[in-house]
Homo-oligomer: A and B are copies of this chain.
Amino acid sequence: MATTTELMTELRAVSSELIELGRVSRLQGWDQETMMPPKGAVGRARQRAAVQGLLHERLTRPRIGEVLDALAEPPRRGELSQIDAAIVREVRREYDLAVKLPNAFVRELTQASAEGVEIWRRAREESRFVDFAPSLEHIVHLKQLEADYLGYADHPYDALLDLYEPGLTVATLTPLFTALRQSTVALLDRLRGSTVTPDRRLLTQDYDLATQWEIGLMLVRAIGFDLDAGRVDRTTHPFATGLGPGDVRLTTRQRRDNLAELVFGNLHEGGHGLYEQGLDPDLDGTIVGQYVSLGVHESQSRLWENFVGRDAPFWQFNLPRLQAAFPAQLAGVTVEQFVLAVNRVEPSLIRVEADEVTYNLHIILRYEIERRLIAREVRTRDLPDLWNELMREYLGLTPPDDRTGVLQDTHWAIGGIGYFPTYTLGNVYAAQLWSAIRRDLPNLDADLAAGQVAPLLDWLRERIHRPGRLYQPVELIERATGSPPDAAHLARYLDEKFSRLYALR
């Protein structure tokens, strides 16, 4: 009979192999988006499938189930250190997810997603939802099946939410999103009465791309990103990916006619990158030394992009550096003008172009649709009407076509139903962290205005980055802030910030 130590040694080896193979897979993905020559695509799909297949095969070995079962027995359970207990919990989670899904089902979903994204791409170009509808119907059906395979206590959508944000449920999200929607709609109403009209033209001049790039690197350095432990490259769709705390890769895009694209893209991805670089090196290579959830990850990108990056203190230090790089475009611009320009609130059709206030309404709309789709409360073919109805209700806009409406995002086509809510959850977490940070760091504004991010970064490192998966997301937020997740922080933050910027009351 194996001892607890022996079993844990075995499980740690399993955990380590999963982590390293996961990083191999992420390197393949990063390279595909940034470096791979066009004719490499067919071969790369095979190479990635080989790694994915191996990961799945290794993860579903019956021996792993036996080791997990043995370690779950009461006498052993109590002998585990905090880290070992977390390793057992996280390997159990991955193992259960993997073994619950039959191989044939996984292949069908992979196939449907691969085809779905191509069909969606063409349908979006033609702006014809009907062309995508059958493919989406098939994907929704598979996701319903997936929820059944995975199991759930209350709502089938819970099973899908849990894939991206462990523990998240409809029962938590619906009241949270309802309250946030109501407060946001009320704030938008009040903003319509403001006489302040931000002028974005200072951002939309001619900005040399090479100079922009240097500014972009300066900004990620300015928030503490270590370019000896990471890099920044160009892609069509920006992302951040971690191959370990010593190798974190950001991607970004830039537009000659809009400086904001690169500046806030870099702050956003830089925020993701800081999380990855801040993971505990002592936990690196174990399943616990990884980011805990998409919602927490997004809280870090949003915190740097919006809470730090769209407020005055940060620009008191950094605007002069932008002005030195772009004197013709920015000379004479005040911090107040700049901050107002990057905070224009205006209901719009496209999620990825939305401002800090209206963004969450785009997410809540998608949540409402996804939840009803999975619960079979709405039919795929009715989506354009439902989309437009909710757009009118939340944002007061009607999309002129499917391209700028229901077809705008790729997530459903790739089977990512349940992913969208983590974006707004990130904002909710970020606002709550921000409240706690302002309480704990009374000199924060002065520090940021002096270019000192270390106190803020240290706060985040200790409470959010280093723990990895030692705690579940909700516990992590509670330990960091002193109270359980609560959307009221976000509502209050938005209300205060935009009341101030728009001179309300």
Contact = CB atoms under 8 A, between A and B. Distances in A.
Contacts of A51: 20, 24
Contacts of A42: 246
Nearest to A246: B39
16 contacts: A16-B50, A17-B50, A20-B47, A20-B49, A20-B50, A20-B51, A27-B28, A37-B229, A38-B228, A39-B226, A40-B229, A42-B246, A43-B243, A43-B284, A46-B285, A54-B54
Contacts of A43: 23, 243-247, 284-285
A280 to B, nearest CB: 13
A153 interface: no
Interface string A223-258: 000111111000000000001111100000000000
Contacts of A38: 228-229
A35 interface: yes
Contacts of A324: none
Given A31-B27, A285-B46, A37 B244 contact: no
Q: Which residue among A46, A47, A243, A284 has the maximum number of chain B CB atoms within 10 Å of its CB?
A: A47
A41 interface: yes
Interface string A156-185: 000000000000000000000000000000
Contact of A40 (B36, B40, B41, B244): B244
Interface size, A (range): 35 or more
B243 A40 contact: yes
A31 B31 CA distance: 9
Contacts of A230: 37
Contacts of A27: 27-28, 31, 47
Interface of A: 16-17, 20-21, 23-24, 27-28, 31, 35-44, 46-47, 49-51, 54, 226-231, 243-247, 284-285
A42 B244 CA distance: 10
A229 B28 contact: no
A37 B228 contact: yes
A37 B246 contact: yes
Contacts of A35: 35, 231
A118 to B, nearest CB: 19
Given A20-B47, A24-B24, A40 B247 contact: yes
A315 B38 CA distance: 31
A300 B258 CA distance: 48
A185 B499 CA distance: 88
B23 A47 contact: yes
A173 B269 CA distance: 57
The 7 closest A-B pairs by CB, nearest first: A40-B247, A43-B244, A20-B50, A39-B246, A39-B229, A40-B246, A20-B47
Q: Which residue among A27, A38, A228 has the maximum number of chain B CB atoms within 10 Å of its CB?
A: A27
A24 B22 CA distance: 12
A301 B247 CA distance: 33
A188 to B, nearest CB: 43
A37 B284 contact: no
A34 to B, nearest CB: 8
A340 to B, nearest CB: 37
A393 to B, nearest CB: 47
Contact of A36 (B28, B44, B247): B247
A457 to B, nearest CB: 17
B47 A246 contact: no
A93 B43 CA distance: 24
A429 to B, nearest CB: 27
B37 A227 contact: yes
Nearest to A44: B247
A191 B309 CA distance: 70
A220 B335 CA distance: 50
A42 to B, nearest CB: 6
A28 B26 CA distance: 11
Contacts of A247: 36-37, 39-40, 43-44
A357 to B, nearest CB: 37
Contacts of A46: 16, 20, 285
A269 to B, nearest CB: 15
A54 B16 CA distance: 12
A31 B43 CA distance: 17
Contacts of A41: 246
Nearest to A242: B43
A49 B285 CA distance: 12
